[in-house]
Amino acid sequence: MEQHTKNIGQLDAHQKMIATTKKFHTSGIRSGAISGLFYGLYSFLIIIVQGFDPLKSAVGILAAPFVMGAINDFLGGCVLLLNVIRTGKFHELARSLATKPGKIMLLGYILGGPVANGAYLVGLYLAGAFAIPISATTAAFGAIFAAIFLKQKINARVVGGMVFCIIGAIIINMVKPDGAPNFTLGIILALFAAICWGLEGCISSFGGAILDSEVNVTLRQLVSGLVQMVVIVPLIGATGLFTSMFSSPLLIALLLVSGTLVGISYTEWYRSNAMVGTAVGMSLNITYAFWGVLLSILFLDQPITPSIVIGSITIILGAILVTTNPLDFFRKNEV
């Protein structure tokens, strides 16, 4: 009787562990999906912002994107900072940076912020909305880097889903849009951004498992904004454009919104990477390519082409395949 009771207790504990693990995995998938939606909204809003003066008439291909990036990231970081203060985590900022994972994360902040986001914004400036899905190849780079540096295993299903996502991004960019200056250079820069984000995703998967996601992303956005404002903007001779931006309350308000959107996106992305691994987290995040293009079609008169429709559907199918085994829908639940 005692042994029977013990066996029942072990079975209950095992079932609770399975339920907890499943809930943890589901939360990670939810965070990844949210990050994709909010980054799609951010990308859509940035395309709108760059159509206003003084950004629209800025000289050179670097000035407008990096000025936008500097203000966007810093304002978004300030919003996140207010939330960190509200939740009583302000003291964690300095404490996190003092740790070894925090110092490693600094590399991720630079790669993903000024470097990758700067390249991405220039890509949007040159290639328009078509730069959005090509940057979605970051999922493949993230999975490769995670397999190399973090020894995270990737099964055949996840690889297949990643391939679908990449194929979808390529299909969308097969037809060059009208009115996109230096389209090829824009695509190359979007691809470069994807590589850097892949590295950041790998780093965030390591550091995010130890550090608080909200604190982590607050530091990321503040560091990214400050580096761009203090170093890059003066370096490229865009200080005049930067100061003139503050004479337009509308643009500052829009960048405050976009900064908040991207801050939420990165918080959920870091959380997802830490909970379900880099490959799955990044594959969910790249659904921003679908949302960004869809919103551009609906509200910015982006022409609907077969390549956009087929490519977007392919990306969605790839993301589903990465996160879910289709055979599970036909299997009975096991006790």
- Domain range spanning residue 39? 32-326
Residue 332 lies in a domain: no
Residue labelled with tokens 């909305």? 129
Query: Lowest-pLDDT range, 59-73, 254-268, 271-285, 286-300?
Result: 271-285
Instruction: Identify residue 243 by its one-letter amino acid code.
Output: T
Residue 12 lies in a domain: no
Give the tokens for residue 130. 């078509």
- Say which residue, 25 or 9, is predicted with more confidence: 25
Residue 276 lies in a domain: yes
Residue 197 lies in a domain: yes
Identify the three-state secondary structure at position 90.
Answer: coil
Transcribe 184-205 into DSSP letters: HHHHHHHHHHHHHHHHHHHHHH
Confidence of residue 60 (pLDDT cuts 50, 70, 90): confident
Instruction: Identify residue 192 by its one-letter amino acid code.
Output: F
Residue 182 lies in a domain: yes
Confidence of residue 103 (pLDDT cuts 50, 70, 90): confident
**Is the pTM here over 0.85, yes or no?**
no
Number of domains present in the structure of the chain: 1
Q: What percent of the chain is modeled with pLDDT above 70? A: 86
User: Given a cut of 50, is residue 333 above it in pLDDT?
Assistant: no
Cα gap 284→161, rounded to integer Å: 11
- pLDDT tens across 237-258, in order? 999 999 999 999 999 999 999 9
Which residues contact residue 316 at a Cβ distance below 8 angstroms, ignoring those fewer than 6 apart?
Answer: 168, 287, 290
User: Given a cut of 70, is residue 332 above it in pLDDT?
Assistant: no
Whether the upstream peptide bond of residue 54 has omega within 30° of 0, thus cis, is: yes
Residue 13 lies in a domain: no
- pLDDT tens across 277-292, in order? 766 777 788 788 788 8
Residue 103 lies in a domain: yes
